[in-house]
């Protein structure tokens, strides 16, 4: 099974460049925001769809109903994981949310990663920092610049 990476664009001014590198390496972007909107240009659902085409999908079943606060409550984890599993069979996947790298522990993408790991014990799950380097995985295989 392919790699599952977790990526949050918050606080990363080069997020789109990072996403370009990830898709260029063959990864699919799985948007798991409950509300796939943002004031940041280029990162709303429609813009991502235009830019990345079939490399992008929004998976609202893995969204967090309580994204404004409160305990994490996934819309439909079972159905969402099933859809994610189908993607993972064919491509490495990046779970996309807005919470920045430093807040990854509080973000529902970490919970989804944990559930996926539980379901597929052989699956490799990694949180990616800006540039994809902090986790030791450079998606392009090139020497990407390390950014903080
Ligand atoms: Zn989040």
Q: Residues 86-108: what's their mean pLDDT? A: 94
Is 134 domain-assigned?
Answer: no
Residue 132: its pLDDT value, please?
A: 61
Is 143 domain-assigned?
Answer: no
Residues 68-87: tens digit of each pLDDT: 999 999 999 999 999 999 99
Q: How many angstroms is it from 95 CA to the middle of ligand 1?
A: 10
Is 137 domain-assigned?
Answer: no
Domain count, the chain: 1
Residues with CB under 5 A from ligand 1 (ion): 97, 99, 107
Provide the 8-state DSSP code for 74: B
Q: How many angstroms is it from 70 CA to the middle of ligand 1?
A: 13
Q: How many angstroms is it from 98 CA to the middle of ligand 1?
A: 5
Q: How many angstroms is it from 26 CA to the middle of ligand 1?
A: 23
Confidence of residue 148 (pLDDT cuts 50, 70, 90): very low
What residues make up the domain containing 46?
3-128
* CATH code for the domain in which residue 38 is found: 3.40.1010
Residues 110-124: tens digit of each pLDDT: 999 999 999 999 999
Q: Minimal CA–CA distance to 148: which of 115, 112, 100, 107?
A: 100
CA–CA distance, 89 with 1 (Å, rounded to integer)? 6
Mean per-residue pLDDT over the chain, rounded: 89
Is 70 domain-assigned?
Answer: yes
Tell me phi and psi for residue 120, to 5 degrees. -125, 85
Is 144 domain-assigned?
Answer: no
Q: How many angstroms is it from 100 CA to the middle of ligand 1?
A: 8
Does pLDDT of 137 surpass 90? no
Does pLDDT of 23 surpass 80? yes
Is 145 domain-assigned?
Answer: no
Residues 24-41: tens digit of each pLDDT: 888 999 999 999 999 999
pTM given for the model? 0.89
Q: How many angstroms is it from 87 CA to the middle of ligand 1?
A: 20
């Amino acid at each position: 099974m392919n790699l599952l990476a977790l990526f949050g664009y918050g606080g990363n001014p080069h997020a789109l460049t990072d996403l370009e590198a990830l898709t260029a390496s063959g990864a699919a972007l799985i948007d798991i925001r409950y509300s796939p909107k943002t004031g940041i240009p280029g990162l709303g659902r429609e813009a991502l769809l235009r830019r990345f085409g079939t490399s992008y999908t929004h998976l609202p079943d893995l969204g967090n109903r309580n994204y404004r606060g409160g305990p994490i409550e996934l819309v439909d984890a079972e159905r969402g994981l099933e859809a994610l599993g189908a993607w993972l069979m064919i491509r490495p996947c990046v779970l996309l949310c807005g919470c920045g790298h430093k807040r990854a522990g509080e973000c529902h993408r970490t919970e989804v990663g944990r559930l996926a790991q539980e379901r597929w014990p052989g699956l490799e799950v990694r949180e990616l920092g800006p540039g994809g380097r902090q986790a030791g995985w450079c998606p392009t295989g090139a020497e990407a610049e390390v950014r903080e």
